[in-house]
Every structure is written in C-alpha cells, then in structure tokens.
Amino acid sequence: MARILITGGAGFIGSHLCDRLLADGHEVIAMDNFFTSHPRNIAHLVGHDRFRFVKHDVTEYIYIDGHLDAILHLASLPSPVDYLREPIKTLKVGALGTHKALGLARKHGAKFLLASTSEVYGDPQVHPQPETYWGNVNPIGPRGVYDESKRFAEAMTMAYHRYHGIDTRIVRIFNTYGPRMRADDGRVVTNFIAQGLRGEPLTVYDDGSRTRSFCYVSDLVEGMVRLLESDIVEPVNLGNPDEMTVLEFAKVVQRLTGGKSEIVFVTPRDERTKDDPHIRQPDITRARTLLGWEPRVPLEEGLQYTIDYFRHLLHLEGK
C-alpha cells in the first residue's frame, strides 16, 4: 500500500484516479480548492478509511503530514472557458502550483507524475503527434496561457529530475471524456451532450472539419497507473488514436441523445477558436510498446455512460 497525494483530486480525471487507487488498496489524499471541480465528484468517498480530503490552493505552500510515496499533479484550469476567463490564475497554477508540488515531492522523496496535455503540441504541423514533436504554439495568443503553463510545467519537472534526482513521470493527455465532466466547461463533448439532452441545436464551430480523438476516462486512468508504476521518465502520450471530425462526432452525439437536435454551424466571434488545433491525433506507439497500453472502451459505449451521467446531472440542476 502506498500513500498518494492527488492535486486536483476532486476534478473530473482526479476523482476517477482516487477511485482507482483506492480500489488498488492505496491510501489517497485528494487536494483541491473546487475552483473548477465540485464536491459531488468525491462525495461517495467521504468516510472511506483510506481517503482524506484537503482543501487547498496549490499555488500556496503545500504541507502534508506523514510520508508520501507518490504525488500525482493534476491541478489546473484545463477547459477553454476557465483559462480564457482566468488567464493569470491558469499561468500561476501551471507554474507556481507545479513548483510547490515538486518541492513537496523532493521533501518526501516521493515519485512525481505530472498531468500534461496534448496542448503542448499547439496547432500541430506533424500528424499524428509523437512525443518527439516539439509543437507549434503561439505563446502570446489567448490559448498560450494554458499551453505554455503546461510546457513550463514539463520543463520544471525535467529540471527537478535532472538536478534534484526526483523520480518523475509526464503524461500528455489527449481529449478525454466520461462522467464527472462539467456541463459548462466549454469542451466539445460536454457542449454537444448538454445541447442534445436539452433538445437544443448542436453548435458546430465553422465547418466542423477540425479533427479530434476521444479517450474514455477509465482507459486514461489505466494508462496513468501503468505509467506511474513504470520507470519511464520521458513524456508519454495517452489518448485514442481513432481520429474523427467534429462534425462526425456531433452526428454520433445527436443520435445517442435522441436525434431531436439539429446541427447548426456557427462562427464564434470571440477567442474560443483562435489558435484552436485543426488536427489532433496521438501517436501512442510509446504507450503501446513500453506500457502495453491502448484504449479499450468503444466510443459509443463510453458516450452512453457519459450521456447517462449528464442526464442525471442536468435533472439535478433543473436544466
């Protein structure tokens, strides 16, 4: 049994990691300030004898009593709605938060896993994107606050590995979906599902030709656990290599939510799509070869789980 801290532990992915690590027999400490998450994500864990919650902002000094075997650093503002609204906070969480979490790992001699993102590749000119690609990021664009905060976090993680000898891991997460996502986070999955369940038009930006690939959350968590248990220091892509256009994806969601919503094409008049990647597909050769990992949950199966969750969530919220 290990004692593991998860920053961002009440978030979408973080809460699923709490579930998995507890199921594996570990002791889990979840840290969050609920800025982009919700207490309901971990409400079912309250009272668990191996679970503890600490409300804290990771940009401030972090103190955890007792020993720590591992730190999984997921705290961030990952959705466009959040990082466009709170650009400075996004940068601070990516930079100061990562610095504080790495300092804690050094103090405890703990293994450290950074949850990075496919956004480090920016609007890629290499397709699909391997870990060796350095990316095409606009550092002064509106999305740069998130992209560059994660690139900085990767650089700092590797610096702590090289200079302080910290045992580090870096996972680059591609589009992931599943229960416990926020209905208002502005991502394509949540936008379409919420619109479909409300009977509203599914709004596809521009002509819908941008591509994405979608990985179900349980597959991602499996990959992260395997990476944590490995000895791989270099970044590893985790995502689904099955690429599809946003329009194709909208048609799938349209059908699974009842088929009553029409698809409409809109051109945003704000910064939501400025520097938005036109293509996105992970090269998961490294994960397949070194971790024996690849996604297993079919898209429609995962979407049905997610739609069922959102149907319940929207009912609770009266929407």
Q: Which residues contact 87 (CB under 8 A, 6 or more apart)?
A: 142, 145
The letter for the amino acid at 142 is P
The string of DSSP codes covering 158-189 is HHHHHHH---EEEEEE--EE-TT--TTS--HH
Is residue 163 flagged as an active site residue? no
- Catalytic: which of 63, 121, 133, 146? 146
CA–CA separation, 118 vs 223, rounded Å? 15
| SS3 at position 246 | helix
Rg (CA), the chain: 19
How far is C-alpha 281 from the chain's CA centre?
A: 15
- Angle formed at CA 100 by CA 94 and CA 103, multiple of 5 degrees: 130
| Rounded (10°) angle between helices 299-316 and 188-198 | 60
- Angle formed at CA 180 by CA 25 and CA 27, multiple of 5 degrees: 20
- Residue of 143, 188, 197, 178 whose CA lies nearest to 297: 178
> Cβ atoms within 10 A of the Cβ of 91, count?
20
Return left, alpha or beta for 186; rule: phi > 0 is left, psi -120 to 50 is alpha, else beta: left
Give the active site residues. Answer: 146
